Amino acid sequence: MKDFKYYAPTEVVFGEQSEEQVARLVKKYGGTKVLVHYGGKSAERSGLLGKICGLLTEGGIPFVSLGGVVPNPRLSLAKQGIELCRKEGVDFILAIGGGSVIDSAKCIAYGVCMEGDVWDLYLGNATPTAMLPVGCVVTIPAAGSEMSEASVITNEDGDVKLGYSNNLSRPKFAIMNPRRTFTLPPYQTAAGVTDMMMHTMERYFTKDDDMDFTTDVAEAMLRSIKTAVFAVLRNPEDYRYRAQIMWGGSLMHNGLTGCGVTDDWATHQLEHELSGMFDVTHGAGLAAIWPSWARYVMNENLPRFVRFAVNVMDVPNDFTDPEGTALRGIEAMERFYHAIGMPTTIRELIGRDVTDDEIREMARKCSRDYTATCGALRVLHADDMEAIYRMAR
């Protein structure tokens, strides 16, 4: 069994009244002047932004604001945020939004405490020694950034999307009110669910078969979220199932489902090139890649793919044909993606055929100019990456 550390320091405040505690939480974690960071229109439209700003004012906490974070958040806006925080003497970043806003907030929080260019962290050329504390008010369950150590940023110069992980960046607190997710459109809901499931699947498909507890927890989470997504697509205002999804999104990416196993992340890395090049929704990009990745690697641990088929996708186990059972599990996952409105090919994702040049370019970027591999269940080199993109086209 793989040795592991489990570190999940984020204080989670969950439920309908959770937002009321924002000023207390900011103070608790040392904030005396706050940057309120948010995305496009959704937080303004719902009144959440106004409510949070009002609560900070009532709590006697001065703040400045920076909105405009877009999905696949841009480095240029984070750099504006760094300048603003320095000018205004900000010592706490409050993200109101989803993964994109939280990741942008983490990037700003690193940058304020660094002398050099914050992009060097994402390039692997620098290591932070400190960062400003980050708290969040989550509005979309998906990326799990509210408890994770990761931040994913897109540098418009070259359309390069890179992640950087460091335990320093795990948010101090996460406020989660499932009611705030009632306004999520079906596509965002489904893409979010796809992403959170993938965070657990990236850890589930491993060669380490001896951590049964982690595997059982992962399967229960995957089954539970599969049920919940149909309930909220039928009724977007179903508090009970919105709550399952919201809590699931955090637990499926806070490290719990990776304890004692070697994680993979190839599907994520292959997807980051799709969202870097085509600016697509991350979760939808994952659905377009995963079935092809799964077919490409399944023989590395066939029993695990059989287990997934039977325990998660309810496929009958044909003991005489494990490969057939595994393949039927992948097909059942494809049917699930289609049932919730997700694509299973790049064509469905971007609405046209991807060209050979684009495939080669994504493989080049994903392999860092042919110097890096990705994945662990099967280590993928640039030619494997290209092969998977071709299978997924």
Q: What is the binding site for ligand NZQ (CB under 6 A)?
A: 39-43, 71-72, 97-101, 103, 139-140, 142-145, 148, 150-152, 180-181, 183-184, 188, 192, 195, 253, 268, 282-283
Q: Which option in Zn ion, ligand NZQ, none does residue 276 bind, with CB closer than 5 to 8 A by kind?
A: none
Per this entry, what is the length of the chain? 393
How many C-beta neighbours within 10 Å does residue 256 have?
Answer: 18
Instruction: Please identify, using beta-carbon distances, which residue of 195 and 334 lies nearer to Zn ion.
Output: 195
Q: Which option in Zn ion, ligand NZQ, none does residue 200 bind, with CB closer than 5 to 8 A by kind?
A: none
At 173 the three-state DSSP class reads strand
CB of 140 to ligand NZQ, least distance (A): 4
170 close to 148: Cβ distance less than 8 angstroms: yes
Kindly tell me which residue out of 19, 103, 149, 195 binds Zn ion, with binding defined by CB under 5 A. Answer: 195
Using alpha carbons only, give the angle 147, 149, 154 rounded to the nearest 5 degrees: 110
CB of 39 to ligand NZQ, least distance (A): 3
Instruction: Please identify, using beta-carbon distances, which residue of 31 and 248 lies nearer to Zn ion.
Output: 248
Instruction: Please identify, using beta-carbon distances, which residue of 253 and 328 lies nearer to ligand NZQ.
Output: 253
CA dist 202 to 92, 205, 215, 253, Å? 32, 6, 12, 10
Q: Which option in ligand NZQ, Zn ion, none does residue 136 bind, with CB closer than 5 to 8 A by kind?
A: none
CB of 280 to ligand NZQ, least distance (A): 10
Quick one: which segment of 7-15, 41-49, 190-198, 370-378 binds Zn ion (CB under 5 A)? 190-198
71: left (phi over 0), alpha (psi -120 to 50) or beta: beta
Q: Which option in Zn ion, ligand NZQ, none does residue 344 bind, with CB closer than 5 to 8 A by kind?
A: none
Instruction: Please identify, using beta-carbon distances, which residue of 214 and 269 lies nearer to ligand NZQ.
Output: 269
Tokens representing 274 are 């799709």
DSSP string, 225-264: HHHHHHHHHH-TT-HHHHHHHHHHHHHTTSSGGGTTS---
Q: How far apart are CA 220 and CA 208, in angstroms?
A: 18
Site residues (vs Zn ion, CB under 5 A): 195
